[in-house]
Structure 1
Amino acid sequence: MINFKEVNETNQMIENENLDVRTITLGISLLDCMSGDLEVLKKNIYEKITTLAKDLVKTGDEIGAEFGIPIVNKRISITPIGLVGSGACKSTDDYVELAKTLDKAAATVGVNFIGGFSALVSKAMTRADELLIRAIPGALAATERVCASVNVGSTRTGINMDAVRLSGEIVKATAEATKERDSLGCAKLVIFCNAPDDNPFMAGAFLGVTEGDAVINVGVSGPGVVKRAIEGVRGEGFEKLCETIKKTAFKVTRVGQLVAKEASKRLKVPFGIVDLSLAPTPAIGDSVAEILEEIGLEKVGAPGTTAALALLNDQVKKGGVMASSYVGGLSGAFIPVSEDQGMIDAVNAGALTLEKLEAMTCVCSVGLDMIAIPGKTKETTISGIIADEMAIGMINQKTTAVRLIPVIGKDVGEIVEFGGLLGYAPVMPVNEFDCSRFVNRQGRIPAPIHSFKN
């Protein structure tokens, strides 16, 4: 039971500490929509999404109003389109048409994003997968709400370097296709290793093929709540610090569990998971970087940053798993540069570099996230950065991802404004030494020895 003390604490977190439910995400399987006829496929997809999701936004708003809990986003994740469209799509233009159908359906039901314009190619690419990947620049340029992802590696299969090389080309092509909007399309494109099937957070959300016909997943967020809590234990030892973070993560996750169960009941859709990631926003006081600085760093990027982030991530997970039987998704701490004011300040102060961010991704929830780089960056350099991040995920048996934005026409030190939750970012320098001979080798980096477990 939730007692009055918890109710009062929750109200305090909502009113003064930026606690919110970042997203209710309705997962929808499109496997039964498949057809060899493109027009039939588009019709099936549109009808299924608009039928199952017709009450999603209204229900989220009603729960938020009744419980007094801000529910920021309502979103949809779908079966990877690389699979769904494989029978009907014979060209990149066909996949772009499917993306437009997804965008139309998302607009009809009123969600802000729909994720799943995706391909899973950690071992090899089918012809359909390759067509979808090559269609991503056109799809993201022609839509507003569609998000794309490509899973190019896993601990079990290794890293598909052919897909990594292609992904670098596609990131750059997406930047060019949306250069009139500061290459915004790249903010809706994620390259993964070990992508989870049940991730409610965009831009990497899709519904795994092992999921049912529909599912409700919820993502909670509370960096401001955690920062306020640990302000009360300044000067205390690590045991006290860790206990404080765990207890706070427990309370935050309880809020997500409550919302998820209620949404499941009202929409008559099974409850899936709560993702308890600390996902920052550009709002003052809603920053993961500020938590790390409260732990004891002058600026994020200082020596000790990776250790502090590892501590935070682990305690968030430990506290969250006690509050819900079904914790999933990414769950931990996000470090998206453009969406976190403290990260932006650290970059501007010269404390935080791309290389330090890469080190931090060994212990964070995701990886190199929402990082603006010079528009002149070579495709092979982008592929090399992706390969490095995929290797961290593969070896460490964790999810890693890359969301780089090569901003066409802008260079180091210039500012890029994305707006809304995507925030703004300074363009960061990239190591320009060449890696093309490495990236252009064909084939796959084998799975590590510890992957052989049966």
Structure 2
Amino acid sequence: MTMINIFEVNETNKMIDQENLDVRTITMGISLMDCMDSDLTEVNRKVYEKITKKARHLVATGEEIETEYGIPIVNKRISVTPIALVGSAACKTSEDYVTLARTLDRAAKEVGVNFIGGYSALVSKGMTPAEELLIRSIPQALACTERVCSSVNVGSTKTGINMDAVKLMGEMILETAKATKEKDSLGCAKLVVFCNAPDDNPFMAGAFHGVTEADTIINVGVSGPGVVKTALEKVRGADFETLCETIKKTAFKVTRVGQLVAQEASKRLEVPFGIIDLSLAPTPAIGDSVADILREIGVEYAGAPGTTAALALLNDQVKKGGVMASSAVGGLSGAFIPVSEDQGMIDSVNAGALTLEKLEAMTCVCSVGLDMIAIPGDTPASTISGIIADEAAIGMVNQKTTAVRVIPVIGKDVGEIVEFGGLLGYAPIMPVNRFSCENFVNRGGRIPAPIHSFKN
């Protein structure tokens, strides 16, 4: 990377001090393929030893870079090979898989990371018995661990949507909510269902280390909604060309910070650099909101007419600006629109401007999907499956990543508030369409891939 000049340094310092610029995460991806064994005790031993050996300096290195460059690095995390694969030879029951979840949690605590992702299964076309065992173990695994994150990929543009897996995931989300009801169903905040899941995503809860990746890599996720909003305040009322140029230039600057951190972390840890994920990821902090950017673009609240167009513009310009600032952009990259983690989104829900249906429309043009949305605890599993199927269809047809992370909060209903704390924030319980899709979900089988998937 070319040397950053003093003007850029001063500008970056201002973005950090006043506009909530941060590197959201350094995520070390670790392959556990060489930990496979027919003996469960051996698998657990190998998994623990490899993670603690490879990631032992991850947190300290992140803190060193923070101190030397003055760049906040909020999270240090680990992603691993989907555990459904790692445990496939040794795990004969769901409880066997839960032992691996406990091992991941223990390893994460030992090295000091806040989350470890990869308690995952990739079942977009079908499920092996081992993958089904892992999926059925998710409620118990998330109830007995603190730092483990789980994800399941149920569809892709190339394969279609595995509706058997979609049905099962609706049930498992509800079971996870019940298993963690004493914590306001917090387990569901660490569980995401994907279509077209990327192999190199550094963000939780969906991160896993894809089998196409190197043995160990460093992926970095940058974030600066506050920086973009501040930049747009200076061009208030200007035309769309000016607006787009401003977002693009700002995304370039934000991504340069991530590239610097990624290169430093890679060099110091002697681990190859993977990708920069340049997603605008909000936090509950005031001034760190994607919804506030949309308001600055010109809609009264996120959810008002024009919101989807504004989000499409924002997402595209972030990618155009960021891709020039890094040698490798990947992961999800764009703009996250979680409800609980974004004060502006919460305000929009409370104002009556934002519904689940409008959020679904917005996911057609943003990075991920329905993210961190609290729904009534009595929502049927089939309805949750229907929501997953709708979101997966958007991803499948549009050749993009979509996801669902909904939290049916047991014992709470529309209008009540649920507090998750920390980075996960708080959320109003949103209403869900009460008409049934049970007959649709119960058909079983697979929705075929769309015609444009055939590109061989």
Q: TM-score range by the shorter chain?
A: over 0.9
What aligned pairs does 1:42-441 form with structure 2 within 5 A after superposition? 42-441=44-443
What amino acid does structure 2 have at the position aligned with 1:91? T
What amino acid does structure 2 have at the position aligned with 1:388? D
The CA deviation string for residues 266-313 of structure 1, in whole angstroms up to 9 with x for no partner, is 000000000000000000000000000000010010000000000000
Match of 1:3 in 2: 5
C-alpha distance in 1 between matches for 2:167 and 2:434? 17
Q: Which runs of 5+ in 1 are unaligned?
A: none
SS at match of 2:217: strand
Q: TM-score, normalised by structure 2?
A: 0.99
What amino acid does structure 1 have at the position aligned with 2:94? T
What amino acid does structure 2 have at the position aligned with 1:124? G
Runs of 4+ in 1 over 6 A off after TM superposition: none
Identity %: 81
Over aligned residue pairs, what C-alpha RMSD do you find?
A: 0.3
C-alpha distance in 2 between matches for 1:359 and 1:193? 16
SS at match of 1:153: strand
C-alpha distance in 2 between matches for 1:244 and 1:387? 36
C-alpha distance in 2 between matches for 1:162 and 1:142? 26
C-alpha distance in 1 between matches for 2:228 and 2:236? 13
C-alpha distance in 2 between matches for 1:449 and 1:325? 33
SS at match of 2:406: strand
What amino acid does structure 2 have at the position aligned with 1:57? V
Deviation at 1:325, TM superposition (A): 1.6
What amino acid does structure 1 have at the position aligned with 2:85? L
Deviation at 1:235, TM superposition (A): 0.8
C-alpha distance in 1 between matches for 2:12 and 2:291? 23
C-alpha distance in 1 between matches for 2:176 and 2:387? 17
What amino acid does structure 2 have at the position aligned with 1:256? G
Question: Which of 24, 28, 31 does residue 29 from structure 1 map onto?
Answer: 31
SS at match of 1:373: strand
What amino acid does structure 2 have at the position aligned with 1:33? C
Question: Which of 11, 14, 27 does residue 12 from structure 1 map onto?
Answer: 14
Deviation at 1:385, TM superposition (A): 0.3
C-alpha distance in 2 between matches for 1:325 and 1:54? 27
Aligned residues: 454
C-alpha distance in 1 between matches for 2:329 and 2:396? 22
Deviation at 1:442, TM superposition (A): 1.2
Q: Which runs of 5+ in 2 are unaligned?
A: none
C-alpha distance in 1 between matches for 2:384 and 2:256? 39
